[in-house]
Amino acid sequence: MTSALVTFDFIMSYIVLARKWRPQRFDDLVGQESVVKTFKNALSSGKIVHAYLFSGPRGVGKTTSARLLAKALNCTQLTDNEPCGVCPSCKAITSGSSVDVIEIDGASNTGVDAVRELRETVKYAPSGSKYKIYIIDEVHMLSTPAFNALLKTLEEPPPHVIFIFATTEPKKILPTILSRCQHHAFRRMTKGRIKEQLSKITSAEKINIEDAALDMIAKAADGSMRDALTLLDQACSFSNDITAEELQGLLGLPETEIVTNLCETILSGDISRTLSIIKELTDRGSDLRQLTRELVENFRNIAIVKVTDDAEGLLEFTQEEVQKLKQHASAVGIEHLTLLLTELLRLEGEVRNAVHPRYTLELGLLRTSFVKGMTSIEDILKMLGAPAGPAGTPAAGPAPAEKAALPKEKPADTIKETTAAGKVTEPLSSEDTLCKEEVWKKLLEGVDAQDHLLACKLSEARVMNLNSTELSIGFNGGMSVLADSIKSKAAVIKPILKSICGHNLKLSILSLPKEEGKIDKKKMKEDVYAEPLVKDALRIFDGSLIKVNPLEDGQEINE
């Protein structure tokens, strides 16, 4: 019986794109130009500090930059401040076998014992390189005692030791550590730069992929080049010819058209259509958590288009995409849009942690449909400022039947004169009532044309007396608080009154005592219920009218 050892050359021969295309030179770093420039200037001038801190989102090149800096510092053939990549030191760092570049995972070495061991090893000189470099990834995971144990070494390290820390959460690092490091913040990559790099890689790797699919990957990567390459790897494993439709199904991404339609139904308050779209996406197996994130992002984009003129630059969208967003923005006010975005942001957190994402999403979108029926504060103020009837209708005028029985109006010269002593003559007779009311009506119309709010206040007054020298008006009971406001606007009213009567009239404004007498409670309640503003309030809040309090005496009218 014989045995044979069989080897398979293809095992582990494939290198994922994120590792294969890891930058080997500073110039290969995408989207971190300011950091690269700082490193090159420091290398050329010899201003190398003993501790660096690299912070930024995941997948933007922090650990890669740490390795490149370690290569450059120990490279024996440095050219144009770039590591050569061919000397023994560069090759050893690339392969991860260098004894002078030690990479430590902060997440798995959080205790003080690991830092004490490190403090013992920093005393020894590098074996064959210029520097001994410690790269500690996710350094924010170290415990507070571990940080404290590192302080003294970090403040006064041996001349041959350099620390490079990398973290995604610099705020969790102690201030005493931050003050001892040179901090470099790595930026999130733009969608355009990620797509550009993906196009370069797909061309070199001979990967057939649609441009729309590259857009989807660049957007889904959320600023991380590593995430983008991982998604591209996944797509390549699925198909040799990658289309946008296949990528949507593979990654569970909702179609752009469906997200657009969903936004339209939310803006229109069509909850029935909204729930139908959710059902369609659920049947397709779409990730509802991803859908909610897409909705939040889309409404955020609509808000940016609504409030700024430089939407293309801020959103990195094409002009056609911005035009679609502007169409949505034109259909909603900024108050409603703010409410929708606030509700969706809350909904995104609820869906992310929900046991039943579909039910949570449907309930949240049902809440957003209420926003469509809401009245803005500005509109409510306008409605509150509008008079109950036509602007020219006096507040205390006679009934229409009484007007019909009155004779034709008399000319303005029928207004009674005052005596020489200045005493006011008797009020106008019933024959002169129409003339008095016509003057009052024209006055209200003239004031309304200049100051609508003032006309609303003035319409609450009652004409007490009108003659050739004076117009007396009074505010009864609770409306007497308007007297001071009208007095302050007398300069607006008097010119209009002069243009109506042909000469100056004195304007007297009186606060009348509360009227005594029985209130027709039934009629008052009917009048209040007939008010359009009251009807709208009852409809919007699904309420009912319970009682009415008269302003004059504070009485309550119950059902």
pLDDT in tens, 412-437: 333 333 333 333 334 444 434 447 78
Q: End-to-end distance of the chain based on CA atoms, in angstroms?
A: 105
Please indicate, yes or no, whether residues 24 and 160 belong to a single structural domain of this protein.
Answer: yes
Compute CA 393 distance to the chain's CA centroid, rounded to the nearest angstrom.
46
Residue 556 maps to a domain: no
Q: What is the pTM of this model?
A: 0.57
Domain shared by 303 and 270, yes or no? yes
CATH code of residue 347: 1.20.272.10
266 contacts 369 by C-beta, under 8 angstroms? yes
> Residue 50 sits in a domain of what CATH number?
3.40.50.300
Q: 3-state DSSP call for residue 515?
A: coil
Same domain, 23 and 169: yes
406 and 496 share one domain: yes
* Per-residue pLDDT at 551 exceeds 80: no
Place of tokens 């030179």: 25
Examine residue 482 and state whether it is found in any structural domain, yes or no: yes
**Range in 270-274, 287-291, 296-300, 316-320 the model is least confident about:** 316-320
| Alpha-carbon gap, residue 226 to 229, rounded angstroms | 5
Query: What is the number of structural domains in the chain?
Result: 4
Angle in degrees, CA 142, 147, 151, rounded to 5: 155
Phi, psi of 209 (to 5 degrees): -150, 140
Q: Which two tokens stand for residue 409?
A: 């109006």
Q: In this structure, are 274 and 247 located in the same domain?
A: no
Task: With beta carbons less than 8 A apart as the criterion, state whether 67 and 28 touch.
Answer: no
Which single residue is written with the structure tokens 């008797």?
Answer: 426
**Residue 414, domain member (yes or no):** yes
8 A C-beta contact, residue 245 and residue 278: no
The pLDDT value given to residue 509: 81
Q: What CATH number does the domain containing 494 carry?
A: 3.30.300.180
Same domain, 29 and 99: yes
Examine residue 2 and state whether it is found in any structural domain, yes or no.
Answer: no
C-alpha 356 chain-centroid distance: 26
Q: Which residues contact 359 (CB under 8 A, 6 or more apart)?
A: none
Report if residue 136 sits inside a domain: yes
Tell me the pLDDT band of 374, cut-offs 50, 70 and 90: low
**Element of type H or E holding 306:** helix 288-307
How does pLDDT run across 52-95, given as a tens digit for each residue? 999 998 889 999 999 999 999 999 888 888 898 889 889 999 88
Q: Among the three residues 319, 340, 374, which one is the final residue of a domain in this structure?
A: 374
Residue 227 CB neighbours (<10 A): 20
The per-residue pLDDT of the chain, averaged, comes to 79
Any idea what DSSP says for residue 134? E
Q: Rounded mean pLDDT of 28-46?
A: 90
Q: Which domain covers residue 298, as residue numbers? A: 256-374
Q: Which comes out higher in pLDDT, residue 174 or 435? A: 174
pLDDT digits (tens, 9 = 90+) for 109-156: 778 888 888 888 888 888 888 899 999 998 988 888 888 888 888 888
* Residue 508 pLDDT: 83
Segment 42-51 mean pLDDT: 90
* 140 in the same domain as 21: yes
**Alpha helix (H) ranges present in 28-100?**
33-45, 62-74, 88-95
State whether 95 and 226 are in the same domain: no
- pLDDT of residue 228 exceeding 50, the answer is yes
Q: What region does 79 belong to: left with phi over 0, alpha with psi -120 to 50, or beta? A: beta
Are both 369 and 417 inside the same structural domain?
no
Asked if 80 and 178 sit in the same domain, the reply is yes
Mean predicted confidence (pLDDT) in 545-551? 73
**In this structure, is residue 551 part of a structural domain?**
no
* Residue 241: both structure tokens together: 């010819």
CA atoms within 13 A on the CB side of 139: 27
* Other Cβ atoms closer than 10 A to 269: 16
The pLDDT of residue 511? 74
Beta pairing class for 208-209 and 132-137:
unpaired
Residue 554 located in a structural domain: no
> Do 173 and 269 belong together in one domain?
no
Q: Residue 308 carries which side chain, given as an amino acid letter?
A: T
Same domain as 442, residue 423: yes
> Is residue 379 domain-resident?
no
Chain segment 460-498, per-residue pLDDT in tens: 888 888 887 888 888 776 566 677 778 888 888 888 888
